[in-house]
Structure formats: structure tokens, C-alpha cells
Amino acid sequence: MSVDDHAGAASRAHGQLDVVEDAVCLGCGCTCDDIRLRIQDDRIVAADRACSLGVAWFGSGDVPAQALEGGLASTPQRAVEAMARVLTEARSPLVYMAPDVTCETQRQAVAIADRLHATLDSITSDTSLTSILAAQQRGRAGATLGEIRNRADVVVFWGVDPSVRHPRFQERYAPAPVGVHLPEGRRSRTVIAVDVGAHLGPSDADVRLPVAPGDEVATLVRLTAALTSTVTAGSADSPADALEALAHRLRSGRYVVVVAEAEARDGEPPVDRLRSDALVALSLALNASTRGALSLLRGGGNRSGADAVATWQTGFPLGIDFSRGYPRYSPWSGSAFSRISRGEIDAMLIVGHIAALPVALLAAMRSTSGQMATCVIGPHASNSDFSRGAAVVDTGLPGLHSAGTVLRMDDVPLPVRANFRGAIDAEVITRALCERIVAVQRDARLEHRPRVSQ
């Protein structure tokens, strides 16, 4: 397919109301796949079953369809040419996987970074790095959201109320729905809320445990120790007794799930490394006496897909350095924020929705905009602050304008379909860019090849 072709669903008759069943929403990490879209005149007029985040993510289905070079109108073909030129001439390029693209597009982004000997990173470095590293160092007892729905009779919400950032989590997974082993739904479950400072658990919890933010890690460590202890639970009149009583409740469960937020909100400090490590240790300790798992809540836009694709292609989930011609893992010093802040990047390719980037990273990019050429391929690229960069191409959203695969936050893959015309698939543009980079590099090698004397 040409980069100038606009792929999508078949056009609809004017005024016709179409209903699309089982659309997939990337508004949060729940990635709900039961949304019913009502489409009229190529606009979404209703998104049934979607939460407020989902309604905002779907919008009307309209996205810009522009290609720009230096802020001026261009064509996708010429914009791709400009991107290839800028990126191949760069000494230290960076490829960044932002949200709202498919796994197929992310695979092309990895290939581009490989061809350029570039740094490859994703939004995970700025949001869930400590959780990734804790799982790598200790291992992690995990579970799919389906397992939680069907098996978890004890659910611990650790410093998080999913209704704020994942509104349908409680409705679809726990504690509300009926499960295979939980025939009475909510009445079959015990819900425990651990309130960490202002980060409160659900208001309807059966048990509450207040914890001061400065004591969170110590509390996790003591609870982990209590789970493996044979000491009888106390009266809960003191903090130590309350932890013993909580440990007793957890040991009595058949399937215990600890639900925690993996990503800090914008403007908050990053998730503490020790906290992530302690949560993993707690999930492992649960399995000494019962069945237990840790469920980490993540944002939407196929973020888990970026981790999975990068790991599949390179062996590492983020902070990958191809500068030596092979992938090296630099999760701290090699992150996009670190390298941009140090002024080491002279050209950056963003693949995905730039508006979803963390505030701190965007600020670092703006501070070095004079020294770093920026290329963007993704939804609403022409509406961003970087629309006057080297080149930008607007693309569609997965499940609305492009088909492919996305991952839920528990790493379960879900297929998405294209339901609209008029927007280019990001995979088409990234594939064309990768092919053009290969051609430019080949031409450069031929140009500098020594001539053979006759």
C-alpha cells in the first residue's frame, strides 16, 4: 500500500446509522473490548459501555490527516523522505515508542532503531521502570485479568482506587463480576483497602488499613514477613497486630490478588524502587501458604505492547542502545529523558500519540528543540507543539482507523479492526520510512565504495 493511500473501513451512506460491536478501547490499560460504537456520517455519536476515559479516547472518530515539513504542507511521501534524510544524517538518533499505535507499528519502530544504530525507548521508562526492574530481579507472581475475575476471592487494593484511572476495572474484573469460582460475585469476595496517605482504596472495602506514606515500604516488608510467620494473629489493637490480622486474612484466602498502581501520575514523584521491589516480594510470599498474584495497573494506548515487542525483537523492554550495531540494555542512563536532558540526542523520531508523553519528557524536548530535529508519526501529530519539526505525518488510531494487535495491561493480546476511512495507518508510514532508510544507507555505501581501476 502506498504511503499516500488512506486505508480504512468502507464508506457509509449519508445519514446511515451503523453499529460496530465489540470495539476495543485504549483509553486505559483495561483495554475493554466490549464497546458498541454508533456511527453516523462517519462520526461516532455514541460509545455504549465506555467509561468517561473511553468516551474521551474515542471522541468523534475524527483525526487530522496532514503531512508537514518544517510546519509547511507536504505529502506523506515527501515527509517520509525528509525523515529518512534527517535520521540517517544524525550522529545520535533516538526512536521513541509513544502510546496509541499497534504492535505491528511498534515492530517497525524497533527495526528503524536497529537500522539507524539509534537509542530505542518507550513511555515505560518514564512510568513503569521500577516495576519492570523489580520483576526482572525477583520474578513476579502475575495473573491475567480473566484469572482475577474468575478466581480471586480476596482482593487487596494497595493505595489505589481503580475507579479513578481505570473506571471499569471493578465492574469487569474485581470485585463486582460473577466468576467461575465466585458464583455470588461481590459477596463471594473480601475486599481490603490499604490507604496510603491520600491514595485511598475503594470506599466499599470490607477491611481498611491506613498507612502513612513514609511507612509504606516498611509496612510491605513487615506484612511479607508476617505471611511467612507462624505467629497467631493478634487483636489488631496496634499496628503490628493489625498487620498480623491482615496476614491471617490473606493466608485464609484461596486466591489472593494485590492490585497496585504501576505508574505515577503526572506531577508526582516516580514510583519508588523499594516500593516496587516490596510489592513483588509480597506477591511471592503469598504463594508460600496460598495462591497469590500481583496485578499492576497501567495506562492505555498499548503501552504493554511496546514492552513486549521490544523484548521480542531485542531481548530488552526499554532503554535499548543499538550504537554498537547490537542491542545493549541501559534502563537508567539510556532512557529518552536522560539522554535528551544531557543533550546527547540530535534527532528524534516519535512513533505514536505525542500528547500522551509525560510532562517532564516534553519539557526536556522543548528545552533542546534548537539542537534536536524532531520527526513524528502518529495520531494528531500536526496538532502538537512539534508540528514545525523536521517532518510530521498524522495517522489514525488503532481500532478506529487501523487494524492490528494491541496488548492489555496483563499482556493479553487483542485484535483490533479498522472502522473509519480517511486516516493513514501508522504501520504503513513506519514501514515506508524503514524501507527508505535502508535505501539511503545503501546508496551511501555505494557512493563511498572504492572504484576498481580498469
Beta bridge partners of 393: 67, 377
Domain ranges of the chain: 11-62, 63-127+302-447, 129-297
Distances (CA, A) of 129 to 101, 304, 322, 427: 20, 12, 20, 26
pLDDT in tens, the chain (454 residues): 456 555 445 556 677 899 999 999 999 999 999 999 999 998 999 999 999 999 999 999 999 999 999 999 999 999 999 999 999 999 999 999 999 999 999 999 999 999 999 999 999 999 999 999 999 999 989 999 999 999 999 999 999 999 999 999 999 999 999 999 999 999 999 999 999 999 999 999 999 999 999 999 999 999 999 998 765 444 455 667 899 999 999 999 999 999 999 998 766 777 899 999 999 999 999 999 999 999 999 999 999 999 999 999 999 999 999 999 999 999 989 899 999 999 999 999 999 999 999 999 999 999 887 789 999 999 999 999 899 999 999 999 999 999 999 999 999 999 999 999 889 999 999 999 999 999 999 998 887 766 555 4
Rounded-to-integer distance, Cα 131 and Cα 118, Å: 25
Rounded-to-integer distance, Cα 436 and Cα 29, Å: 34
* CATH superfamily ID and name for 129-297: Dimethylsulfoxide Reductase, domain 2 (3.40.228.10)
Contacts of 394 by beta carbon, 8 Å cutoff, 6+ apart: 63, 64, 65, 66, 67, 378, 379, 380, 381, 382, 423, 424
CATH class of residue range 63-127+302-447: alpha beta
**Pairing between β-strand 207-211 and β-strand 154-158 as defined by DSSP bridges:** unpaired
Strands ordered across the beta sheet of 207-211: 207-211, 190-196, 154-158, 255-261, 291-297
- Locate cell 530481579: which residue? 137
